[in-house]
Structure 1
């Protein structure tokens, strides 16, 4: 049996033991209370590394023969180094794989560690869940930011949320400061900046009720998502796209498909499919573990 630990780092740290691509036992979370969900931003890097390793130890329990540890976190990860992490800025520049290996070794766990982008973890988890580990899987995660995940992993930046989807000079709401980005329209933070008097859920509810300003934004939001998907199709080919994250609740599939049909016109590229899936922490944890296991050559 292949025993691996998967960890997801977002608003909280979530870890679990994965045996043969399936969750074995409970998920372990820090902080446990959702009221402390943004406490990780305040932790220095060394404390954050220590907390991650504590959850790994809890998840491992007395399980022997661990093969690898996979950690999925938001940001631009390259060869074990966090090159950019807007949601956890203290990690920028951290040699996170090396730090985790050292801390785990000091705690008696000497296994390969693989750190990936959290959206890639979602894609790998969905591939395992749907028994599609031999297929191309792409996923958009709609939340505080916009993540783009791809399985199988391929070298590259893959910051799909920063795809330019408009040339409007006024579109400057992306957290990175860039103009016209998909995340600057669709991200939770960006929507709050755009509608200072309304929460995102209020905006989409008002759109249902016919408020002109909100109806116009709902259309823009769906055009941005369609543009991101269309760009991926034109660059990487057809296939299945999963949509997940807590803001997937705003997706109007008929509207999205209509805009996408207007953007993708080449007949060889029209055999794509869209599916909305629940944002499940277990899927992310499994994906981190699967990627680590494959990176270890197992």
Structure 2
């Protein structure tokens, strides 16, 4: 028997097959697009034709209610006010669990990753948007922790959530790209202009990071600005919660140089003396599969305090 784990982000979706003894059979990744349900259903149909599936766990970048309805997905407009649990249950006639993507990633980190054995930690998902989850005394804390929509500039830029000055409009992948485009349009030079036949609007945060590592001044500047904003947000979390760890995951967490380095330095500088020294800030060890694993773990809904004894198995060759 197998489970399907789905991680729905603003830019990419990952769908994985996980065995009952925690072996990752395979994980596929594809763009979210304007109508993500078409591709999700296509992939699930294909998996169900090949494997005997016991249930489907889903993590989505957005607010989800107890009935599995997506209330608000700021970076995935198609799924706003969408009855995701009902749609999947009706189609596949099996157990389905829907949760926030940061929540499921936090659970995975506590059970199998950098958070294993920790009394408390905060996980930040760094991608198109920014999400967060809080692990405390053996379980996920039951509050939204919409970290990306924490205001760090009350007179700042407009956010898709309807607020202004949110952390993710300064520190997310989308913010990095938007900042670079704005500065290039205002006349600043960058290697990025040579990509995609001069169409800078096709540039990705990965392109920007690669150019920065090759010495592009503007790309380095944009990443440093985003890192400082992220550091300010992390400092707020340290001051309020005082966790043992801050764990960083998501596609942007791979930008260790410049972006994360700047964020960590800024957070330690801004957080209150006496609190910051006891908090470690580290990169996740489950960047590429944490969302899928956590979605399955929450679906199974076993006693989470027993999970740390479980070990992940490497994928079959």
TM range, smaller chain: 0.7 to 0.9
Aligned mates of 1:58, 1:285 — CA distance in 2: 20
Question: 1:119 is matched with which residue?
Answer: 102
Question: 1:285 is matched with which residue?
Answer: 292
Q: Structure 1 residues 189, 254: closer, same or farther in 2, change over 3 A?
A: closer
Aligned mates of 2:117, 2:58 — CA distance in 1: 19
Aligned mates of 2:215, 2:24 — CA distance in 1: 45
Question: 1:129 is matched with which residue?
Answer: 112
**Matching residue within 83, 87, 96 for 2:71:** 83
Contact 2:7 2:60 in 1 (8 A): yes
Question: 2:152 is matched with which residue?
Answer: 165
Between 1:84-93 and 1:71-80, the stretch displaced more is: 84-93
Classify the secondary structure of the residue corresponding to 1:270. Answer: helix
Matches within 5 A, 1:1-298: 4-10=3-9, 11-20=12-21, 22-27=22-27, 29=28, 34=30, 37-39=31-33, 41-42=34-35, 47=38, 50-51=41-42, 53-54=44-45, 57=48, 61-62=51-52, 66=54, 68-79=55-66, 80-105=68-93, 109=94, 111=95, 113-130=96-113, 132=116, 135-151=119-135, 152-167=139-154, 169=155, 171-172=156-157, 174-196=159-181, 197=184, 198=192, 199=203, 200=205, 201-202=207-208, 205=211, 209=215, 211=217, 217-251=222-256, 252=258, 253-268=260-275, 270-277=277-284, 280-294=287-301
Classify the secondary structure of the residue corresponding to 1:148. Answer: strand
Contact 2:159 2:169 in 1 (8 A): yes
Note the C-alpha offset of 1:182.
1.1
Runs of 5+ unmatched residues, structure 2:
185-191, 193-202, 307-317
- After the TM superposition, which parts of structure 1 deviate over 6 Å for at least 4 consecutive aligned residues? 295-298
Note the C-alpha offset of 1:273.
0.8
Normalised TM-score (structure 1): 0.77
Contact 1:49 1:99 in 2 (8 A): no
Q: Structure 1 residues 295, 274: closer, same or farther in 2, change over 3 A?
A: same
Contact 1:18 1:286 in 2 (8 A): no
Paired residues in the alignment total 275
Note the C-alpha offset of 1:287.
0.8
Aligned mates of 2:266, 2:157 — CA distance in 1: 23
Q: Structure 1 residues 250, 120: closer, same or farther in 2, change over 3 A?
A: same
Note the C-alpha offset of 1:154.
2.5
Normalised TM-score (structure 2): 0.73
Classify the secondary structure of the residue corresponding to 2:301. Answer: helix
Aligned mates of 1:214, 1:24 — CA distance in 2: 36
